Amino acid sequence: MKNTLLKFLAPLLLILFFSCKEDSKKEQKENVPKSPLSENYNISILIDLSDRISIKKNPNPTMEFYQRDLGYIKSISEAFTEHLKSKRIRQINDKMQLFFNPEPLDPTINSISQKLKIAIDKNNASKDLLNSINSNYASQTLKIYESAIKDDNFIGSDIWRFFDVKVKDQCLENEKRNILIILTDGYMYYEGTIMKDRNRTSYITPELIRKNGLNNKDWEKNFKDQDFGFIKIDTDLSNLEVLVLGINPSKNNPYEEKVIKAYWNKWLSEMKIKHFEIKNADLPSNMDKIINDFILINQPN
């Protein structure tokens, strides 16, 4: 009787064993994170060249804000080249570019920015080209900031219009990982794009925050109940990732940082952007890991 029972159970146990083994393999395979090495990157950098970078108006004894920007850009270009060097030549089909909005009046700056639009594929990829990207970006972006500061004619920051008109056409490509990195203090203002729709605006300034009564402990309730925020842009940007660096709130309002980030969070979410981070101004050495993690590690599912 015992032998008969064993003969009957043995095949069932074997089937159960191999079935569990296959399920385990399947589960392990599903849990393996997608390798970023074979992906093609399309990285765009949007620089806010408003008076936030002015040494006269906004001096910083620790490190000037334009120098911080240069440090952030260095980390971005290094992460980009690290990504390229991790791929085989035949896999490379990546881009990195730099934008301003509005474009500076100085034609020299616009000419330099054209040199910073890099497209690399299997046909032009070479060791010399890959090794030149970091030094090229460092030297050329330094010229841009030096020229803007010397000119001392800061015309504002029209980030809202950039998203409304340019992002879809200039920062998105099919079958690429599209990343937009914005260097800004978080405020937006440009005289050519001043719009208001009830409590939504195309701009945000310390004066507007104060005027809207968002400078006290009830700011969050007021923000939600009265629907404050940027004017909604009806564009689906779900295939875009955004990293905002350099938030620098006014020291006159202890709630300013939270209000600025609430504006940005609401706006980016309404454009269906799933993966975004908003970071305060900090020393480049402290931001390097954040930038690297965003570009090379912390990818959306």
- Per-residue pLDDT of the chain (301 residues), as tens digits, is 545 544 555 555 555 555 554 554 444 434 433 444 459 999 999 999 999 999 999 999 999 999 999 999 999 999 999 999 999 999 999 999 999 999 888 888 888 988 899 999 999 999 999 999 999 999 999 999 999 999 898 989 999 999 999 999 999 999 999 999 999 999 999 999 999 999 999 999 999 999 999 999 999 999 999 999 999 999 999 999 999 999 999 999 999 999 999 999 999 999 999 999 999 999 999 999 999 999 998 766 5
Q: What is the pLDDT of residue 104?
A: 85
Q: What is the pLDDT of residue 236?
A: 95
Provide the edge-to-edge strand list for the sheet that holds 229-230: 196-197, 200-201, 229-230
Name the residue with tokens 């990982």: 177
Tokens of 64: 């000037």
Q: What is the pTM of this model?
A: 0.87
In angstroms, the CA 28 to CA 22 distance is 10
Q: What is the pLDDT of residue 12?
A: 52
Q: What is the pLDDT of residue 6?
A: 46
Tokens of 183: 């260097």
Tokens of 109: 């700056």
Q: What is the pLDDT of residue 78?
A: 98
Q: What is the pLDDT of residue 134?
A: 96
| Residues 6 or more apart in contact with residue 16 via CB below 8 angstroms | none
Q: Are 277 and 61 in contact (CB under 8 A)?
A: no
The CATH number of the domain covering residues in 41-297: 3.40.50
In angstroms, the CA 129 to CA 127 distance is 5
SS3 content of the chain, % helix, strand, coil (to 5): 50, 15, 35
In angstroms, the CA 146 to CA 235 distance is 35
Q: What is the pLDDT of residue 25?
A: 45
